[in-house]
Amino acid sequence: MPTTKIPATFPRTYGAVGGAQPKVLLQKKNGMLKVTPSEDDVAERYEFCADLVDKLTAYCQRKQGEHPDWTVTNNVERAERGLRQKVLSGEWPLSEGEIRWVVTAVAVAQEEQAGHRRTIQDLRKKLTWYTPDQLYALMESRSEDAVATVARWEQEKRIFSVEDNGLVLYAKFQFDHLCPIPIIQKILGVLSRKDGWAICSWFTFPNGWISNDAAVSIAPFEVLGTREDDVLRAAKNESEGTHFA
């Protein structure tokens, strides 16, 4: 029995492949031709298609980096054309259903990446940031080694960093007079999020567990110095899966 978890959306029939002379995909077992593949065959075809999704997603990401003005739709359409050419040539024997599954998976991945990128852009604009060099320079008057100190703070989860196109950044809100705000370590200790940008999003966007007198949600970073108990409670609620205030 295959151990690979196959999505319910993945095609379970062989179907047909294109070419100069379209061909029906069949399985020969015990001298008989069957249209329905075994679970092992489906698992093997799924792994092949999933690998194609990874390759085409990487292709789209590369094109997005080379041509920032190209849309997600444009990149996915280019990937699909290349995929169909490979199928037409006989190099990749995929059925039409498998082609559509691969293209849909690539499109979904690209939309998620585009949404992630938009979030990063919003956060870059909304917050004030330190690069490592800026932070080290501001700490220059101290007797301690700034580089080692910042590295230790991050290792101890007293602060967190994010990375954008190879550039490491630290959100300014987690410091007070260039020292970590103590509540940050407590929050990072309970938040289930691990990715730096996901953590930053939690601090930056309005949280339903924290509101002002008008019952309007407030971003946790805005009240780190005044409502630390509420902020920590909101972090615990998320880690426990309590999603409704």
For the stretch 49-99, pLDDT in tens is 999 999 999 999 999 889 988 999 999 999 999 999 999 998 988 989 999
The answer to the question of residue 37 being in a domain is yes
pLDDT of residue 244: 46
Mean pLDDT (whole number) for 208-232: 92
Residue 234 CB: number of other CB atoms within 10 A? 23
pLDDT at 14: 58
Same domain, 198 and 104: no
66, 94, 126: which is the final residue of a domain? 126
In the three-class reduction of DSSP (H, G, I as helix; E, B as strand; rest coil), residue 209 is classed as strand
Clarify whether residues 143 and 230 are in a common domain: yes
pLDDT class of 129 with cuts at 50, 70, 90: very high
What share of the chain in percent tops pLDDT 90? 65
What pLDDT shows up at residue 239?
Answer: 80
Mean pLDDT of 200-222: 93
Q: What range defines the domain where residue 37 resides? A: 16-126
Are residues 27 and 96 located together in one domain of the fold?
yes
pLDDT at 57 (0 to 100): 94
Q: Name 129's bridge partners.
A: 171
Contact 231, 187 (CB under 8 A): yes
Domain count, the chain: 2
Q: Rounded to whole angstroms, how far apart are CA atoms 142 and 172?
A: 19
101 shares its domain with 162: no
As a whole number, mean pLDDT of residues 207-223 equals: 92
Of the residues 126, 148, 169, which one is the last residue of a structural domain? 126
